[in-house]
Structure 1
Amino acid sequence: MKSEFKAKFLQNLVSKKKGAEGFTLIELLVVIIIVGVLAAIALPSFLNQIGKARGSEAKANLGTINRGQQAYRLENQTFSDEVTNLDARITGNFYTYDATGGQYTTTTAADPGTNTDLKVYASGVAQSGDNTSAMVVCESATSDAAGGTAAADVDASATVAATADCSSGNVVQ
């Protein structure tokens, strides 16, 4: 009798297990809603971090260009009007770089047009008569889509020390 009881008990367990497999529709809907809410919270933060990373790329490249301009001026007594003349490795695909030379230099990192949510950056380097130099990197207050500018004012006429400042936007370096 005990063996029949064991067999029926095991059969009952197996039949209950087969019928209780899977999730109900309510459980699946609750999980989908939770995942949707988490994605809605996390996605804007993630996209903001991408924009910050691209801005950091522009700031780093402008700093490299500024140091390259200072080295170019030591060798040639003038700043370069072409970024390609500098011994500087520029990386990234989100910005283009234009330089003006002469007594002082201004370099602009402009958005190439594919990412209108990026900020505009500008930098400047000046060297005074006593060979002291100043450099600045400016960031626009708004994104390029809103017509942001980040003009860098560089005063190379100072006799004691060169000065660099942002005429619009914020000083970032």
Structure 2
Amino acid sequence: MARLQKSIQEKDNDKGFTLVELLVVIIIIGILSAIAVPVYLNQQAKAKDSAAKADLGNLKVAVASYLVDNPDATSIALADLDWKKTEGVKNVTDPITITGGAFTISATSAADNTFVTDETGGITKAGEDAGE
């Protein structure tokens, strides 16, 4: 009889987790995911913006190279350049208008931020001054 009671007591100790313990774990996971998801989404937007900036820099070099070979050009279509936009970029100025060697190019990232560059080389977010 003592063995039977001892066996029953040992089985009671091996029940597992209580409902309260499981709820606490679920709440902790929820809090951690509430913190992590916005951070992750922000990183995606930054990556898309970086793709647009990189495309603008590469396009500026392609336009400058085209102007070396065609100094009298007043307009350049993207199809005339050996350049392709990346997946993180939605829209790029096409055609590019040139006035006296000066040009302005804009690109919109997949995160809906527009960036602008010109022949001087600085890349800025549309609507912001270069000094900001």
State the TM-score, normalized to the length of structure 2: 0.78
CA distance in 2, matches of 1:17, 1:105: 80
Which among 6, 21, 34 is matched to residue 27 of structure 1? 21
- Larger RCO of the pair (alpha carbons < 8 Å, separation 6+): 2
CA shift in 2, pair 1:71/1:51, >3 Å: same
CA separation in 1, counterparts of 2:7 and 2:20?
27
Is 1:36 equivalent to 2:30 in the alignment? yes
Match runs of 1:111-150 below 5 Å: 118-125=112-119, 134-139=120-125, 150=126
Tell me the distance in 2 between the aligned counterparts of 1:170 and 1:17: 72
2:91 is matched with which residue: 66, 75, 96?
96
CA distance in 2, matches of 1:171, 1:49: 23
Mind listing any 5+ residue stretches in structure 1 that lack a counterpart? 126-133, 140-149, 151-167
Structure 2 counterpart of 1:68, which letter? A
The yes-or-no answer on 1:109 pairing with 2:73 is no
* Runs of 4+ in structure 1 over 6 Å off: none
Q: CA RMSD in A?
A: 2.7
- Once residues 62 and 79 of structure 1 are traced to their aligned partners in structure 2, the CA distance between those partners, rounded to angstroms, is 19
Identity of aligned residues (%): 31
Q: Are the equivalent residues in 2 in contact too, given 1:65–1:88 (CA < 8 A)?
A: yes
Distance (Å, rounded) in 2 between the aligned partners of 1:106 and 1:171 = 14
Gaps of 5+ in 2: none
In structure 2, relative to structure 1, the CA distance for the partners of 1:49 and 1:170 (3 Å cut) is farther
TM-score by length of 1: 0.62
Letter in 1 for 2:31: V
Q: Are residue 81 (structure 1) and residue 79 (structure 2) matched?
A: no
How many residue pairs match? The answer is: 125
Please list the CA deviations of residues 111-168 of structure 1 after superposition, one character each: whole Å capped at 9, or x if unmatched.
5xxx6x532111112xxxxxxxx222111xxxxxxxxxx1xxxxxxxxxxxxxxxxx3
- Larger helix fraction of residues: 2
